[in-house]
Amino acid sequence: MKTSNQTSNSNLHTNFSTTISNFITNLFFGLIFLCLAILTLPSFAADKYCQKPGPGATGGKTYDIHIFGNTYKDANAKTQMAQGLTDLFRSLAVGDRVKVYNHNATGYNLSMDQCVPGCPEVSFMDSMLGGSCSTEVAKRDRKTFNQRFAQAAMSDINRDGSSYDIFKSIQDLNDVYKGERTDHVVAAAISMIPDGINPTDPNAFTKFYVTTVPNLNIALEFPPVCTVGTSPNSEVLKFWKEVFALKHVKFDFKPCNKE
């Protein structure tokens, strides 16, 4: 027969066990939540700066930046590319979404998808009501964003002089959209210089035209594209205008930083 002490001890023991059990269960779910929170932290960080596009708003645009790093062999071309990307980068506004696509010989990958960090300008009343954006945190995030952008932009640049097919690169850009319309700003960092061609030699371009264009089999349907770091040489522009005219492609070589 059980005594009252035994009974109370028993109850105590049962309560203790339940408490421990609850604690462990809570700890388990808490840890899962923490893990999920850690895992989803960047997207939280990305999303928290995103702004919806609206009239008069400075941010809120989405930039699709396609980097064809392997088409930049020449040092001058690389400089042009860096300059162009810097200009583009400067034009980004807080809250703009930036998607960086890296293209190479085997295809492409989305190496960055993030909104430009920064606190939006708010009224005094809004700040009094307790705005959620911390300027310090935003500054820190912007620094990280800058680093990531630079890393994504320059990661696939042609360092070993490997060959490339300029037409394939153009076709790859086309294949990202496959003829679909988009309201994104599409920027392409591509040299547009055919591999092995001196962009200042008109005869070289003519020969390249004669040997490749009649056998060229590409189907292109782009959204409006602006260019970054594209060779400004007249021969290059002439060549591509002729090719795109033949293929009935609208591609006007408008530089992204000259809107």
Partner 1 sequence: MKRKLLNLLLPVMTALINCNVCLDSYAQDKANTGGNVNADTQFRELYPKALSGEPNAMFSLGKIYLEGTSSAGKDSAKGMDYIQRASGAGNVAATKYMIDAYERSGSERALELCQKLQRAGDKYCDKKMETLVERSIPKTVSTSNCKKLNDLYNSGNQGPVVKSEVTACVLQGLSTTIPVDQAMSNLRVQAADDPKAFAKLMGFMLKAGTPEWDPLFVEENLTKAGLTFKDKEVKELFLKNDISFDGCRKMDRLRRENLRQRPSVCRMAAKSGDEDAALYVGDAYLTGKDYFPEDAAEASFYIKEASLSKNPIISSEAFVLLMDLYKKQGKFYEHFSTVKHEIKVNSLNKTAAFASFGFEADYLAKNHSGMSLDDILDLVATADNKDIDQSIKSRIGRTVDEVIKDRGRLMRPIEKDSMLAYKDRLLSQKDKDEIEAARLAMLSQVTAVKAETPRAEVPRVADSDKKPSEKESTFFDKFLNRSAQ
Contact residues toward partner 1 (CB under 8 A) are 197-198, 201, 203-204, 206-207, 209-211, 213-214, 242, 245-246
At its nearest, how many Å lie between partner 1 and the CB of residue 175? 24
Instruction: Give the Cα separation of 200 and 9 in Å (integer).
Output: 94
Instruction: Give the Cα separation of 88 and 106 in Å (integer).
Output: 26
Is 228 within 8 Å of 81 (Cβ atoms)?
Answer: yes
Nearer to partner 1 by C-beta: 140 or 207? 207
Nearer to partner 1 by C-beta: 43 or 163? 163
Nearer to partner 1 by C-beta: 177 or 209? 209
Instruction: Give the Cα separation of 247 and 25 in Å (integer).
Output: 65
Nearer to partner 1 by C-beta: 47 or 201? 201
> In the numeric block, which tokens belong to residue 95?
């809250």
Amino acid at 254: K
At its nearest, how many Å lie between partner 1 and the CB of residue 246? 6
At its nearest, how many Å lie between partner 1 and the CB of residue 252? 18
Is 142 within 8 Å of 195 (Cβ atoms)?
Answer: no
At its nearest, how many Å lie between partner 1 and the CB of residue 159? 20
